[in-house]
C-alpha cells in the first residue's frame, strides 16, 4: 500500500529543491558578473551572490527547524533557467544586447525563487512552523527587492543601451 504524502512531505521536498537551486545560483552568479558589461549590473550580480550565500544559511536553519539534514534535490527548472543564461553569455558575448539578456535571465531566476519562497512561507505558516516562515519571508523580501532593482536597472540603463546599438 502506498504511503500517503502530506503537506509536510511536500514542504520538505520543495525545501530540498530550492536548496539545490540556491547552491547552483551561487555558482552561476560570478560567471554572470564576469560577463556583464554594465558596471551596475556587474555589481548587482556580485551583491546578489553574497545575499544568496546568506539565503543558503537560512535554508539550513529551516532544515534544522524541521529536524532534517540540509540536502538538495536536483531541480530541473533552475537547471533550465541557468542553461538559458549560459546560452545568452555565449551567443551575445561582446554585443550591446548581452547585458539585457543577462538581466532577463537573472530575472527569470528571481521569479522562480519568489514563487518557491512564497509557497514555502505559506506552507510553513499552515504547518505552524512560524520560525521557518519568518526565515523564508526574509529571503522572499530579499528576492523581491533584487527583482525590483533589476527591473529599475533594465529600464533606466541596460535596455536603453541595447536599443541604442540596434
How far, rounded to the nearest angstrom, does the alpha carbon of residue 119 sit from its chain's CA centroid?
Answer: 14
pLDDT tens string for the chain (166 positions)? 568 999 999 999 999 999 999 999 999 999 999 999 999 999 999 999 999 999 999 999 999 999 999 999 999 999 999 999 999 999 999 898 999 999 999 999 999 999 999 999 999 999 999 999 999 999 999 999 999 999 999 999 999 988 886 6
Q: Determine the topology of domain 7-164 in CATH.
A: Ferritin (1.20.1260)
The residues spanned by each domain of the chain are 7-164
Pair 12, 68: CB distance under 8 Å? yes
Q: Which of 166, 127, 145, 162 is nearest to 11 (CA)?
A: 127
Against a cut of 0.75, is the pTM above it? Answer: yes
Structural Rg of the chain based on CA atoms: 17
Collapse the DSSP code of 6 into the 3-class scheme (helix H, G, I; strand E, B; otherwise coil) and give the result: coil
Amino acid at each position: 500500500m502506498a504511503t500517503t504524502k502530506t503537506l509536510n512531505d511536500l514542504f520538505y521536498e520543495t525545501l530540498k529543491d530550492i536548496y539545490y537551486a540556491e547552491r547552483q545560483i551561487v555558482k552561476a552568479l560570478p560567471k554572470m558578473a564576469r560577463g556583464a558589461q554594465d558596471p551596475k549590473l556587474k555589481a548587482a550580480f556580485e551583491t546578489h551572490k553574497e545575499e544568496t550565500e546568506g539565503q543558503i544559511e537560512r535554508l539550513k536553519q529551516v532544515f534544522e527547524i524541521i529536524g532534517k539534514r540540509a540536502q538538495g534535490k536536483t531541480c530541473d527548472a533552475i537547471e533550465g533557467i541557468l542553461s538559458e543564461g549560459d546560452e545568452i553569455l555565449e551567443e551575445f558575448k561582446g554585443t550591446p544586447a548581452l547585458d539585457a539578456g543577462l538581466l532577463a535571465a537573472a530575472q527569470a531566476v528571481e521569479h522562480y525563487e519568489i514563487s518557491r519562497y512564497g509557497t514555502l512561507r505559506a506552507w510553513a505558516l499552515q504547518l505552524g512552523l512560524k520560525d521557518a516562515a519568518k526565515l523564508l519571508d526574509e529571503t522572499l523580501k530579499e528576492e523581491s527587492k533584487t527583482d525590483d532593482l533589476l527591473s529599475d536597472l533594465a529600464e533606466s540603463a541596460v535596455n536603453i543601451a541595447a536599443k541604442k546599438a540596434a
